[in-house]
Structure 1
Amino acid sequence: MRFAVSYSSAHFGGDPDQIVAYARHAEACGFEGLYLPEHLVLYPGAKLHDFEVPPTLPFLDPLDTLAYVAAATERLLLGTGVLLLPYRHPVVLAKQLATIDTLSKGRMRLLTIGLGTLPEEAAATGVDFRTRGRRADEAIDVLRLLWSGTEEGVSFRGEFFSFDNLVQFPKPYQSATLPIHVGGSSAAAARRAGLRGDGYFPGGALVPQERAAQWKLARSTAQESGRDPDDLEYTRWSGIDMTDERLEAFAAQGVTRIVVSATAQDPNEQYDELSRFAERFILGRS
């Protein structure tokens, strides 16, 4: 089992020194990686997870922030939970991700993509909210094509993206591609993970039977499409107060990575929360 942490500037603030201190402490505790969320815009009355949120929440750009964190850490893997893929052009995004991976010497390896739940966010970027699933599928294909392409160039013809003989360097660090995990708690997300993903990272508030059905769907979809379902990673959220029994339940479900976040507002208390978790589940089991 691997363990990672998340940091949300919307909850903890966007102070650069605090972000770096949080990341360095997580690295020192033995956590595998750091995840950041994404929201491009908010508006009065916006609801996230059925809760109305202040439109002034300071969501930092996750990729810019991860590049900043990479420069201040040595080992911590870099992740998004989730990056809103339909609202980013994949040609530009492929360059951004490969650049971060190159400069961090291969640490941009926990990319998780999602579709977004706010129609207004789609409208603000000129994307038809109803087509965002198909757009994301195409974008995943474009990312992998550009990363794996040679100096001969690659071409693509799709519903949303088309190009001929494009060459894009640098490639990901010592790799032909980057892992792409799929977030979302719908059947469509589970199928997307099975068809195109390197892993599945569902969110939402679902009962255990629904979780089990989604993971089964992701694995069966992978197998039906000729992929090895055992190659899929399975990442789940958990509370910082996770029990041994909860960890055992995760393991029984096939979970391979658990992501937690500090809950305290005071930075010193946040570090204590991460330290206590690491002492129980990371340092004591290594």
Structure 2
Amino acid sequence: MRFAVSYSMAGFGTDPDRLVRYARHAEACGFEALYVPEHIALHPGASVGGGELPPSLPYGDPLDLLAFVAAATDRILLGTAVLLLPYHHPVVLAKRLATVDVLSKGRMRLLTVGLGTLPVEARAAGVDFATRGRRADEAIDVLRLLWAGDERGVRHHGEFFDLDEVCSFPKPHGAAGLPIHVGGSSAAAARRAGRRGDGYFPGGLLTPEERRRQLDLARAAAAGAGRDPDALEYTRWGSTALTPEQVDALAAEGVTRIVVSGTEEDLTAFAARHR
């Protein structure tokens, strides 16, 4: 089992000293990765998962935050949970992600993408909320195409994006592309993870049976797409109060990574308990 931490914008904000201190502490405790969330724009009354988001919450740009963390750390991997993919143009995003990966010497490896659940946020980004699933599918394809392309350029003519002899450099550090994990608790997210993702990171308040069905759906979608379902990583949210027995139970469900959030003291205690 691998363990990672999530940096809470609601709890900690965007204070640069706080962010660096937290990232360095997580790295010293032996955590694999640090994840940051994304919201491009909020509005009064915005609610996610039944919880209201104050419109003044300081959601920093996730890739800027991770580049800042990369400069202050040595080993910890960089992740998003989740980057709202439909609200980013893949040509711009491919370069930004590859740049962070190059500058961090190959640590931008836990990109998790999702669709977003706020129609007002979609409108603010100029995106039709109803098309965001198809837009995300196509954006994943375009990202991979651009990273794999050479000096001759790549072509893509889709529903949302049109490219003709487009080159994208720099490439990711020592790799033909970056892993893309898919977040979301819907059946569509599970299928997207299987068909296009390198990992599945469901959220939501699902029952154990619903989670089992979603993972089965992701693996079946991978097999149907001619991909290896056993290669699909399975990441879940967890609590710093998890016991070794509870971690073993999650591993038995197929979980390969647990992401927790808490104070530095919480992280220290969790790391000591799971060494």
For residues 95-174 of structure 1, what are the structure 2 equivalents within 5 Å? 95-174=95-174
1:216-271 C-alpha deviation (Å, 9 max, x unpaired): 00001101111000110000000110112211111101110000000xxxxxxx21
Aligned to 2:266: 273
**Shift of residue 11 of structure 1?**
2.0
1:192 aligns with 2:185: no
2: CA distance, partners of 1:251 / 1:36 = 24
Question: Considering only aligned residues, what root-mean-square deviation do their CA atoms show, in Å?
Answer: 0.7
1:248 aligns with 2:241: no
SS of residue in 1 equivalent to 2:74: coil
**Shift of residue 49 of structure 1?**
1.3
Aligned length: 275
SS of residue in 2 equivalent to 1:236: strand
1: CA distance, partners of 2:184 / 2:218 = 12
8 Å contact from structure 1 (residues 85, 114) kept in 2: yes
1:139-182 C-alpha deviation (Å, 9 max, x unpaired): 00000000000111100010000010011111000000000000
**Shift of residue 50 of structure 1?**
1.2
2: CA distance, partners of 1:249 / 1:143 = 35
8 Å contact from structure 1 (residues 8, 59) kept in 2: no
1:89 aligns with 2:89: yes
Question: What TM-score, normalized to structure 1?
Answer: 0.95
Deviating above 2 A after TM superposition, structure 1's stretches of 4 or more consecutive aligned residues are none
Query: Percent identity among equivalent residues?
Result: 69
1: CA distance, partners of 2:54 / 2:170 = 39
What amino acid does structure 1 have at the position aligned with 2:248? E
1: CA distance, partners of 2:56 / 2:218 = 36
1: CA distance, partners of 2:63 / 2:142 = 19
2: CA distance, partners of 1:57 / 1:10 = 6
2: CA distance, partners of 1:115 / 1:201 = 13
SS of residue in 2 equivalent to 1:200: strand
Which runs of 5 or more residues in structure 1 are unaligned? 263-269
Question: What TM-score, normalized to structure 2?
Answer: 0.99
**Shift of residue 272 of structure 1?**
1.3
Which runs of 5 or more residues in structure 2 are unaligned? none
What amino acid does structure 2 have at the position aligned with 1:115? L
